[in-house]
Chains A and B, each alone.
Chain A
Amino acid sequence: MSKSTHEIEVEIRNPEGLHMRPAMQFVDLANSFDSDISVSHQDVSVDAKSIMQMTMLAATCGTRLKITATGADAGQAIQALQDLVENKFSDDPEAAVSEKEG
């Protein structure tokens, strides 16, 4: 199988940001692929397969992240992770209770 690198930029849209539970979903999904996957925000780049590292990103709502995958299934990995972020991780209902209106 041939290795390839895929990259995409996504925006965190859930109001609570990439807090621990969505980060865990992201890490779980990343771990289901063989490719090496990293996520970067400004000058910080972390391993998408490590919950400790992902939590370090402190990605608030509106943060743009770059996801890079390298490996045989890089294309699928990027697609799946993009879907997860764009569906706002189907974040917990509590998160919908935001006091910031407008």
Chain B
Amino acid sequence: MKLVDIICFDAIVAQLNSNKRDEVIAELVQSLVGHKKMEGVDAKNMVRAVVKRENEASTGIGKGVAVPHVKHKSITEPVAVIGCSQEGIDFASLDKQPVYSVFLLLSPASNPDKHLQAMETIFKNLQKDDFRRFLRQAQTAEAIIEAVKDADEDDNG
């Protein structure tokens, strides 16, 4: 699985409005609305589910990134979106540092293996210092898309 297979480019938010965790989650879910993988998804409901999951254990895994996610029955294929913040967001991260790049992932409840594959794809790339740095510097959706495509390319080599 590649990042391009799960990330919805049209929904990327290069400059998040809010710097509050729950509002950021809502912004990203809202941005995904209209995507074909979101058919039949109730956005409010989805935001609640992601926030609930986030409250159980922070997905801010350090190094300025967070991967809020949920497995939900209204989702049939994993779908993800990236949001960036120049200001930084308090995600109650493991390293207590603010988060600048957020990957929101919505996965099917009926297919935990697909969810794991999507998480693997995201984490494999977030491990790369370059990828995190490019995301952090990106100010436009185009720059983020380029970073994502480069990261995918990198895995071919």
Chain A positions within 8 Å of B, measured between CB atoms, are 15-21, 24, 51-53, 55-61, 92, 95, 97-100
Contacts and interface: CB of A to CB of B under 8 A. Distances in A.
Contact of B116 (A19, A24, A53, A95): A19
B120 interface: yes
A21 B59 CA distance: 9
Given A52-B63, A58-B120, 11 more contacts: A19-B112, A20-B69, A21-B57, A51-B62, A56-B123, A58-B119, A60-B113, A92-B56, A99-B109, A99-B110, A100-B110
B117 A20 contact: no
Interface of B: 56-57, 59, 61-63, 67, 69, 71, 94, 109-110, 112-113, 115-117, 119-120, 123-124, 126-127
A59 B61 contact: no
Nearest to B69: A20
A55 B119 contact: yes
A51 B61 contact: yes
23 contacts: A15-B112, A16-B112, A17-B113, A18-B116, A20-B59, A20-B67, A20-B69, A21-B56, A21-B57, A24-B57, A51-B94, A52-B63, A53-B127, A55-B123, A56-B120, A56-B124, A56-B127, A58-B117, A60-B112, A60-B113, A61-B112, A61-B113, A95-B112
A98 B49 CA distance: 18
Contact of A60 (B67, B110, B116): B116
B57 A20 contact: yes
Main secondary structure of the interface of A (DSSP, over half): loop
Contacts of B127: 52-53, 56
A61 B57 CA distance: 21
A10 to B, nearest CB: 17
B113 to A, nearest CB: 5
B120 A19 contact: no
A21 B71 CA distance: 13
B57 A55 contact: no
